[in-house]
Amino acid sequence: MADVLSAEIWKNWEKTGKNEFVKSCIQIIKDETKSVVFDKDRKVNNLTSYVSGLIMHGIHGLLKKEAVVTTLQELVTLHNDIPSIILDILNIADAETSVFDGQNDDSKERSNFCYIVKECEKFLSDKLLKERLELDTLLEVGILKNRNFYTKFIKVKTKLYYKQRKFNLFREESEGFAKLVTELNQDFGENITHKHLLDIVQSLIGCFNLDPNRVLDIILESFENKAKDARLFIPLIQSYMNDPKIICEVLGSKYIFYRNNNEVVPNSLYILTAQLLQHNIISLDDIYIWLTPDDKVMQKECEKDMRDAKEYIRKLQIISISNKDKEEPPEEKENTSEKYAFNQKFGLCEALLEIGDWNNTQVLMKRLPDHYLIEQEPIALALCNLLHCILEPVYRENWKIGTKIKGKPLKPHNNFLSPKPAHTFMELRDIAIPMLLALGPSLRYDSVLMYKVIRLGKLALASYGIENHRSPVPIGDSLYYDIITLLDASILPSLSYMDCNCSIAEEIWSLMKLYPYTSRYCLYSRWKNETYSLYPDLLRKRADAEKQIKNIMKRVSKENIKPVGRLIGKLTHSSPGFLFDYILLQIQVYDNLIHPVVDSLKYLTSLSYDVLGFCLIESLANADKKRFKHDSTSISSWLQSLSSFCGAVFKKYNIELTGLLQYVANQLKAQKSLDLLILKEIVQKMAGVEAAEDLTVEQLNAMAGGELLKAEAGYFSQVRNTKKSSLRLKEAMADQNLAVTMCLLMAQQKYCVVYRETQKSHIKLVGKLSDQCQDTLVQFGTFLGSTLSMDEYINKLPSIQSMLLDYHIPNEVAFFLARPMFNHAINIKYDQLRKADPNYKKMSSSAKQQKYFEAVTEIMSPVHKSVIPLHLPKVWEDISPQFLATFWSLTMYDLYVPEDTYQQAVNKVKQQSLNSVDANTSKAKKEQERYVTLMEKLQDEKRKQYEHVEKVLYRLKQEKDSWFLSRSAKSAKNETITRFLQLCIFPRCTFTAVDAVYCAKFVHTIHMLKTANFSTLLCYDRLFCDVTYSVTSCTENEAMRYGRFLYAMLETVMRWHKSKEVFEKECANYPGFVTKYRISNQYCDNLDHVGYENYRHVCHKWHYKLAKAMIICLESKDYVQIRNALIILIKIIPFFPVLQKLSQIIEKRIEKLRDEEKNKRQDLFTLATSYLGQLKQRMTSGHIMQESEFHQNVDKEKVSKSHDSKNQDAFNKQNGETKDHLDANKDVKEKEKSDRRINRQSTDDSKGGSKSQNTSQNSSDNIMLDKFDKDKIPKEEKDKYSRKDEKRDEPDRDREREREKRRERKEEKMIKEEKQYREDRYIEMVSPKEEPRYSNERAQSERYYDERSHYFREVRDDRDVSLNPNNSSGSITRHSQEPTEPDRDAKRRKVDGSSTKSYKHEERKLQQQQQLEYLIEKTEKKERSSKSKDKRDKISDEEKELRKERKLVRKRDRTEEAILQAEMKRRRDDEKGKVISHQNGELMESPHTREKHHHSREKSPYPRERSHDRMELREKHRRPTEGKRR
């Protein structure tokens, strides 16, 4: 482009000219980087000419003036120098247009110019316009609207440049002022007074005609230079000039002079002003208006400092991901000293403090923002010096370091108007404490003063008798709370400024530890959360410290604990609170940091440790964090990590525990048990008391020994170095009696967990919380028992009566806590009784045992009375309170000496001793001595336990006869076992693993003691026959303990099963294995016992029952049932399953479960996989046996009852005869049939065991009935009942014929159902496919299962009179809900037992069964559904022919079977003899006859209960055909 724009641009301005013009200007500006006027060669460019041309075209009217203004506005935005260029051009245009006359066309150019200038005001600076344009133009345009502006401008210009300054040199004489200065600045003697000086001043004024104001100025300047002569100048000024305003004006002129000249005000002027203020010559309000800067300016500066500090924090928290400008240049710090020097208010405040004017200083501080004045270091130091003077007397008088060490006493303040020094502690409250509170964090500038204040605080508290945090708060007027205020407002904030000063931190802790944790934690909370937000400098320090701790935590590891620990220690010396928050946050996220962090905290101060305890509680109590995982079935990992950290850090370091324990107690009061995890970790780490559930068998045996054996062999790890930490925990529990509080709250919380705390929670979480509460309670109680002395234990814990009746603690918990008290009281009483005998040293063991029994009787008698109100009077009709108290007061230590475990521990110690023999060092010798001592202690402990167990067994032998009351045979057998299981076994076997073993051991002990009225077999049967409900109601840990209990019970059962010698030794002739009682004699005068082989049959049945219960649980799809079943199976795997068939079934079920849960519930998948591996290992290692190995699997035969007169005649002819031999094929068929019957029966057992207590009780009783010896039936009794039967024979036969016809018709209805039992009978026993327990099909299938249960009821009705002749049910929770399954040999025993009966009795019984079946059929007709009718109609012709064929075969087989069995009976009778007396000399009456008479009257009258009679006949007809078909 040319130097001058072309004319085309101006012509085409609206279209293209404007754009081309702007582009040209932009190009010039773009090329010129520094200046828009000159180019790179320092020559003037074309931009000025372009703008000039634009403006001139607008003025001359060649362009529209609006277009010119718009273009200028666009140009202004291009560069900052363009406005200046525009105004320069307008100024030239102003000169050109101002000469035109208003009458020609040029006047239009002037108006255009004015318009352009007026519009430029909108986008050009007003200041720039006034600077560049003439005043006349501004007025003409309208930018200046005040017409007087020009006049004022002229006056100012005249005053500046033309007015002459006046000096009154002729009226004032310099000699007079010189003499005045000389007189006022001489050294004054003590004789000179202010009146003398006043006379001199007045005479000089009069002599030299001096200006009084100038004289006042000279007096003030002289006073300023001689501030020490205030005693003369103050009264002189008061006498010379009594007007404070005039004095303030003179002083103010001095301050203004320094301000205008930008000079620093000398300190002497501030001292002068301060002294005038202190002596009330002037007021602060009068002088304050002359001081600079303004208060508003200082307020803005204060706010700006806070904003800058917050911005600094924000920038530090920003994470930059770009490489550009990664490191910003540091901010330029303001020159604080210069800023302070030019602030006249700061100088005056400092001067006031130097002369000791505290009152005016307070007034001045209140005018300014809080802490703004005192944050200035010179002012803070001036106040600190003043405080030194005030504190000196009381400090020197009370603080004595030593006789030889002399301090440096300070001189008192030289100003008599300064605050008076304090001589007593209470005098500090008036002046010193307000000064310290005003000083605030600025106390950091004088660490010596901080030490003095802290020491005075300790001395003051000591004078009130406060020695530690447990001391009571002083009553009356004291500085107790004033010191807390000082700590909050001054001492702790000052520590935050003092980097790495650990000594001052320890000094502060020496004061703070005298206060309770509640006061300290309040101070820590304010210090951490509020103090830092008040001071900008503290905010910056906090940000810097957080940045450092973040860098440090990135490098924490096991390898660099020491260097990292030192860095953490240095940071936390001054500001521990928020640093610990970040450390704890990292621990919550990364639990592998726990141990490195704990080890790296060893360089902390005591104050930092205490703050750490507070921060832990604050983190745990954080309400914003969710305490459960997202699935709501488990505790959050952050809470688990913090709990683990608590246990580790409190064990390693001496941190006060009271606050944390009180927090847990408060959570329990609020019915929140999650935080018990904290207590569990603390007790485990600090006291070495583990809460481990999964103990090995060896460890459980060790737990039955003494304390030494427990320590050596009872725990997984040898917890060492817990003596000091456990003592600290014990002392913490002593505060506020937390030990008792925690025990009672945990005991009550166990029920709150289920019914209140977790009403809406997942059942898995409920179980975990319940287990946690239980485990922690046991762990805590164990800790108290092992740590507290017995006197402390007895004094702290309430009595057993109070726990049971007042606090409503459950029996298991109350006795768990009270057992140590019982044992201690018994031992003390035993020692008293023993030593009362003069020959107690030579006393025999029997005499000692008698004394021990007397001591137990005396101590436990109140306990017996205290348990009576806990239960209804009906309970005590079956068992005695003495038995209940005895059961709950004993432990494994009292019943059993783990001799093998003792020997293993001794051998282990001996081996360690041998290993250390080689070394000859002194350390090795000490170790050798320790090992020898330990072996001796173990041997001695075992000997003492043997003596103790003998005394306890003697006690039990003395008590056993009064345990179970025998009001009738019914109670002896049923209710007794019921109460025993309900009140004793079930609550305790799930309490702890040791208690589970104890329960099994106690049952064995009762049996071995030959306790009267206690049936061991019935007890075992109740426990094994249906564990489904027990398994379902257990939590995870309770399932482990229940598994332990079943393991111990099965261990005893299988030990008896394994060896006949052991069985004969421990079971034969024991009351627990009694099978029958005479009705007339319920005290077992005439009894019979279970034989070894029959006991093995019972064991066989128990195994089947357990297998069925486990399969039911595994098939239930319910998480709790499956988990608990797997846990129990794992626990009892050494003794179950041992049968091959059961093992195969369980294996298949577990494999199916494992496949189903593989991608669903991983914990169940893991358990199933684990159990499956163990099961397969046992199966391959030869631990599984066949049924023939397990028990003598005799062919089960059944008497076939004839249905026509021909068969009845055959029975009459061959009454009592039996067939001795059966061919091999018959054996196989009968065995298969018996197996199928057992399968069918066991499948039906699960169909609603709670339908009738009578059925349930009879089923439980029948397991104890042995095969009755046929030779023991008296002949007279048999003949008597045979004659009675003949009388009833005729009507029975008629009824039987009718029943036979009905039975044949009914069999057609059951053909379809028979197909379901055709194949694989054995698996159906335990398959829950036909068990509608948890399905909605229960109502439909109930009738069906009732029909299938005939076999069991048939056997039950044919048994001897059992222990319960009245046939009442003593149902037990969860165990008597299902009829007990008879063992595999039940059919055989029935057949054998019937050999001594007459044919009349057999026929009568059969007819009675037919009668009952007829009644049952009537009842069941109502329950038949339309579905069964449809099935009956659909029977094909082929099936009808098959049915007819079966009927013929069955009749044939029944006749043959009846003949064979009759022949067998006859032969046995011939061989055995006719009548054998019982062992007590009485004749045994026929059990079946008695049962028939007894049951016909007392059994439940409902026909549905005897529906098995009808089904029995159907099953008999089915079996022969099935055998042949197979």
Q: What is the pLDDT of residue 1495?
A: 36
Confidence category of residue 1471, pLDDT binned at 50, 70, 90: low
What tokens does 789 get?
């002395």
- Per-residue pLDDT for 1416 more than 80? no
- Per-residue pLDDT for 360 more than 90? yes
Q: What is the pLDDT of residue 1440?
A: 65
**Rounded Cα gap, residues 320 and 327, in angstroms:** 9
What tokens does 226 get?
């001689």
Confidence category of residue 517, pLDDT binned at 50, 70, 90: very high
What tokens does 531 get?
């103090």
The arithmetic mean of pLDDT across residues 1120-1143, rounded, is 92
Q: What is the per-residue pLDDT across 679-725, written as a single tens digit (0 to 9) for each?
A: 988 988 888 887 766 788 888 888 888 888 888 876 655 556 678 88
What tokens does 654 get?
């001496």
**Rounded Cα gap, residues 1285 and 1279, in angstroms:** 10
Query: In terms of C-beta distances under 8 Å and separation of at least 24 residues, what long-range contacts does 211-218 make, across chains too?
Result: 211/172, 212/241, 213/246, 213/250, 214/172, 214/177, 215/180, 215/240, 216/240, 216/241, 216/246, 216/247, 216/250, 217/250, 218/177, 218/180, 218/181, 218/184
- Tell me which DSSP letter residue 1015 carries: -
Q: Residue 2 burial (CB < 10 Å; 0-12/13-18/19+)?
A: exposed
Residue owning tokens 């005939």: 1350
- Per-residue pLDDT for 177 more than 90? no
**Do the beta carbons of residue 117 and residue 133 sit within 8 Å?**
yes
| Residue 946 phi, psi dihedral angles, 5° rounding | -60, -45
Residue in 1150, 1048, 1050 with CA at minimum distance from that of residue 1102: 1050
Confidence category of residue 36, pLDDT binned at 50, 70, 90: confident
Q: What is the mean pLDDT of the chain?
A: 77
Q: What is the per-residue pLDDT across 1030-1048, written as a single tens digit (0 to 9) for each?
A: 898 899 999 999 999 999 9
Label residue 265 left, alpha or beta by phi (over 0 means left) and psi (-120 to 50 means alpha): beta
- Per-residue pLDDT for 527 more than 90? yes
- pTM of the complete model: 0.67
Neighbours of 929 (CB within 10 A): 11
Q: What is the per-residue pLDDT across 804-815, written as a single tens digit (0 to 9) for each?
A: 888 888 888 889
CA dihedral of 1390, 1396, 1398, 1402, whole degrees rounded to 10: 0
Q: What is the per-residue pLDDT across 1232-1263, written as a single tens digit (0 to 9) for each?
A: 444 444 444 433 443 333 333 333 333 333 33
Share of the chain above pLDDT 90, in %: 31
The arithmetic mean of pLDDT across residues 1143-1159, rounded, is 92
Residue in 403, 425, 423, 421 with CA at minimum distance from that of residue 412: 421
Pairing verdict, β 1074-1077 and 1087-1089: antiparallel
Confidence category of residue 1076, pLDDT binned at 50, 70, 90: low
**Rounded Cα gap, residues 292 and 287, in angstroms:** 11
Q: What is the pLDDT of residue 1518?
A: 43
Q: Residue 190 burial (CB < 10 Å; 0-12/13-18/19+)?
A: exposed
Q: What is the per-residue pLDDT across 1291-1321, written as a single tens digit (0 to 9) for each?
A: 556 666 666 666 666 665 555 455 444 433 3
Query: In Å, what is the CA distance from 477 to each residue of 169, 418, 427?
Result: 70, 26, 12
- Which are the contacts of 897, defined by CB distance < 8 A and separation ≥ 6? 704, 705, 942, 945, 946, 949
What tokens does 104 get?
């020609």
**Rounded Cα gap, residues 203 and 205, in angstroms:** 5
**Do the beta carbons of residue 1187 and residue 1162 sit within 8 Å?**
no
Name the packing angle between helices 676-687 and 763-787 (round to 10°). Answer: 40
1193 versus 904: the higher-pLDDT residue is: 904
Confidence category of residue 1201, pLDDT binned at 50, 70, 90: very low
Confidence category of residue 833, pLDDT binned at 50, 70, 90: confident
**Do the beta carbons of residue 994 and residue 1045 sit within 8 Å?**
no
Maximum average pLDDT range among 168-172, 797-801, 913-917, 1438-1442: 797-801
User: Could you please report the per-residue DSSP string of 82-111?
Assistant: HHHHHHHHHHHHHHHHTTS-TTSTHHHHHH
Share of the chain above pLDDT 70, in %: 73
- Which are the contacts of 186, defined by CB distance < 8 A and separation ≥ 6? none
- Per-residue pLDDT for 1415 more than 60? no
**Rounded Cα gap, residues 591 and 285, in angstroms:** 63
- Per-residue pLDDT for 905 more than 50? yes
- H helices of 575-694, in order, are 576-589, 594-600, 606-620, 637-652, 658-669, 676-687
Q: What is the pLDDT of residue 1086?
A: 38
**Rounded Cα gap, residues 1387 and 1235, in angstroms:** 10
- Per-residue pLDDT for 970 more than 60? no
